[in-house]
Structure 1
Amino acid sequence: MDRVILHCDLNCFYASVELLSHPELRTVPMAVCGDPASRHGIILAKNEPAKKYGVQTAETIWQAKKKCPDLVLLPPHHDLYRQYSRQVNAIYDTYTDLVEPFGIDESWLDITHTLHLLGGDAQAVANQLRERIKRELGLTLSVGVSFNKVFAKLGSDYKKPDATTVISRENWRQLLWPLPVGAMLYVGGAAQKLLHQYGVDTLGQLAACKPTMLETLMGKMGPQLQACANGQDQDPVRSRYEAEPVKSVGNGTTFPQNLTKPEQVRTGIAMLCDSVATRLRHAGLYAGGVQVTVRDPAFHDRSRQAQLPAPTHLIRDLTAAAMDLTSQLWKPPTPIRALTVTAIHLLPEGSAYEQVDLFTAGAAPQREKQEKLEAAMARIRGKFGSGAIVYGAAQPEKEEDPFS
């Protein structure tokens, strides 16, 4: 028996919530954006009139203004968006107990086992849901209906705004295979470029690829994408009350001014690693690897990752690894706009182990001392607040500068 899955996507969510308080802006180009003064000046959401001018989410304000000089800009109100998101998901809960949020404005609903209670017609349920959200909250919804999560999401993207699209066993090849590969979940920009080099530009072409070829090109992700393009996605819809395994813990920041000096970068890396290490400790997790992403003023990102010698949640260890990766990605005085540090290959506390090296076995007492130090820091912060004590900026372990 096929599953019956809905993917519900709130249209222009941030902008739609703002328009509830500013109905006079419904017919004029409007966008919600970050604060230019704090260097978060990008478009977060836009309304339909702004879309007609080509305004895009995540582009800079000056790019958007160039396309649409009369664009009205509003600041975001994230608490309000979270409030509306909770209300929407509460409505979803009346249809099924299997509701899996995907960000603040999207959710999957598995109604396989409740469909008979809802009238038996999945498309009618989707239309009813759209009308209810519009009536009770003043927001519009696009819904995809299908037999797996990937196709349901393609359905909600297929026609917007305020629409229902059914991707069935009978029509999925006709509707989906002509679409560009980038339309499918998990196919990012880098994957699109790689596939294009081998003549794979549509979902139909991806579906026709040999899994062995894709595995050679993309690793294990390749055959998974090919299976999804052939309608074989089996990923379950998880209740939002079911804890999902944490796959990574990261933190990034955009700096008020570009970083150009090694000491500035060290301070930024140390601050991010402090945050990541604290979250790892609270979650009872150890990092098996670290990834660093460096963004330049033109919004170009460069990333590198490395396996750690031993799993860790120590600020010192994460900082040293992140500094080494950063030195491979960046040379001063090239400006840095933003940095992100992510702990990857996570292991739960108790399963993490360290292989003892005969030549470095003497470092064990030092490591134990560092564990006690950072645990004490965590207790002080827990009692007096996160700003009560701060770990010092990372310093190079060797005398030579890693950025020279």
Structure 2
Amino acid sequence: MERAILHCDLNNFFYSVESRDYPELRGRAVAVCGSVEDRHGIVLAKSEEAKKYGIRTAQTIWQAKRQCPHLVICEPHYERYIYFSRLVQGIYGEYTDQVEPFGMDEAWLDVTGSRRLFGTGKEIGEKLRRRVREETGLTISVGVSFNKPFAKLGSDLKKPDGLTVIERADFKEKVWPLSCSQMIGIGPATAKRLAGAGIFTLGDLANASLDSLKRLLGKCGGRLWQTANGWDASPVRREGEEEPVKSVGNSMTESADLADDQAVFSMFLLLCENVSRRLREQGLLAGAIAVDIRDDMLTTVGHQAKLTAPTRNALELARAAMRLFSRHWRWERGRTVRSVGVRGYDLVEDGTVWQLSFFQETAREERLERLAGDADRLRARYGRGALVRASLLGRNGYSKTPSVLQRERIQR
């Protein structure tokens, strides 16, 4: 039986909720923006009128105001967004128990087994559009297809409040003319590499040599080739069903830009402490590491590399992240780092066997692992700042001396 997969996307979600609650915002150039004080002063959502001025998501407020001087800036109300997100998810759940959220405003639905009750995938999509509009005052765009990537493509094609059906019989006519960047899983960096190989459309991707794509993008190339050819069979998870962990990461924006290697390494070490703890909690080790670097112009670049051996030692992860940073970053006059992120991936479980290196100090690594576990237990009992690396004292929110409360807990 051919699957019926829906992708439902709440249109301009943050702005739509604000204009629903505050009707005076309708018909005006409006941008919902993060807090300038918390250094998150970027555009999170914008109205259709704002889009006409070229306002983009993730653009800084000052850039947006320069393009549209009369732009209305609206602060976000996350508690309202969560409320409406759950309300809409509840509507989806009346048609299937296979509802897989993708962020706060998107979800995939597998309605294959619901068609005898509610009609075809297209008919169910139309019912959902009507109910969401009538019961919440918001609108959704719906894509209907036989797999998840094409359903998401469909929801992107007609906005706002549209519905697009992509069937197996006609997906080549509808999908292959689209640019590669329109498909989920192809970001700007991957699209640029594909363009360098003469691959601009999804049709180009589908008809490219599989071996050449694997040489160009590794395993990702093979996966994208399969998706472009309509062979994606990934399931829609049921409500409450957890996705297998593929990576463990953390990122942070400091209160002031980072201007030298020492400050960047300090940030990496702080982030890797958290990544290391989460890996231990899940019984995993990272075989590779990736870093994301955002500069003062809000340009983000990512780099990744294999580790010599799987590890979850915070210091080893931080050193590997710093090597990646030093290899690709160039300090120039006035150039600073706004935020960094670290992610461990190629995860393996505790007890997995791998080839050791002659240069590994396994006894030392085992001692450090036991020490890290003891540190986790102390922090869980006495607080995050009860045990801190000396190099982090006085930085990243850590005080040079423990608080009175921490001292009292430790003494007890």
CA deviation vs aligned residue, 1:90-122 (integer Å, no higher than 9, x gap): 22111111111111111110000111111x222
Q: CA deviation at 1:360?
A: 4.9
Distance 1:321 1:387 in 2: 25
Distance 1:266 1:198 in 2: 36
Determine the structure 1 residue equivalent to 2:246: 247
| Residue type of the alignment partner of 1:379 | R
- 1:339-350 matches, cutoff 5 A: 339-350=340-351
1:78 aligns with 2:78: yes
Q: CA deviation at 1:141?
A: 0.4
Determine the structure 1 residue equivalent to 2:378: 380
Distance 2:129 2:271 in 1: 41
Determine the structure 2 residue equivalent to 1:399: none
Matched residue count: 391
Determine the structure 1 residue equivalent to 2:212: 213
Determine the structure 1 residue equivalent to 2:402: none
2:367 to 366, 369, 373: 369
Distance 1:394 1:12 in 2: 41
Q: 1:389 to 1:22 in 2, by over 3 A?
A: farther
Distance 1:109 1:43 in 2: 29
* 3-state DSSP of counterpart to 2:306: strand
Distance 2:262 2:215 in 1: 41
* 3-state DSSP of counterpart to 2:315: helix
Distance 2:301 2:392 in 1: 21
Gaps of 5+ in 2: 394-412
Q: CA deviation at 1:199?
A: 2.9
Q: 1:85 to 1:370 in 2, by over 3 A?
A: same
Q: 1:203 to 1:330 in 2, by over 3 A?
A: closer
* 3-state DSSP of counterpart to 1:214: helix
| Residue type of the alignment partner of 1:19 | S
CA deviation vs aligned residue, 1:214-257 (integer Å, no higher than 9, x gap): 22322232233232222222111112422211111111122222
Q: CA deviation at 1:394?
A: 7.2
Determine the structure 2 residue equivalent to 1:290: 289
- 1:121-200 matches, cutoff 5 A: 121-200=120-199
- Using the size of structure 1 for normalisation, the TM-score is 0.90
| Residue type of the alignment partner of 1:377 | A
Deviates most, 265-274 or 74-83: 74-83
Distance 1:378 1:103 in 2: 30
CA deviation vs aligned residue, 1:355-378 (integer Å, no higher than 9, x gap): 263x654x51x3333223221221
- 1:1-400 matches, cutoff 5 A: 1-118=1-118, 120-332=119-331, 334-351=335-352, 355=356, 357=358, 360-361=360-361, 364=363, 366-393=364-391
Distance 1:95 1:55 in 2: 36
Q: 1:217 to 1:289 in 2, by over 3 A?
A: closer
Given that 1:266 and 1:393 are in contact with CA atoms closer than 8 Å, whether structure 2 keeps it comes out as no
Given that 1:140 and 1:162 are in contact with CA atoms closer than 8 Å, whether structure 2 keeps it comes out as yes
Q: 1:154 to 1:360 in 2, by over 3 A?
A: closer
CA deviation vs aligned residue, 1:46-83 (integer Å, no higher than 9, x gap): 12221222211112222222222111112223333233
Given that 1:271 and 1:393 are in contact with CA atoms closer than 8 Å, whether structure 2 keeps it comes out as no
Q: CA deviation at 1:353?
A: 5.6
Q: CA deviation at 1:7?
A: 0.3
Q: CA deviation at 1:267?
A: 1.8
Q: 1:337 to 1:138 in 2, by over 3 A?
A: same
CA deviation vs aligned residue, 1:253-311 (integer Å, no higher than 9, x gap): 22222211233222211111112112222222211122222222123334332322332
Of all paired residues, the percent bearing the same amino acid is 46
* 3-state DSSP of counterpart to 1:205: helix
Given that 1:181 and 1:202 are in contact with CA atoms closer than 8 Å, whether structure 2 keeps it comes out as yes
Deviates most, 24-33 or 229-238: 229-238
- Using the size of structure 2 for normalisation, the TM-score is 0.88
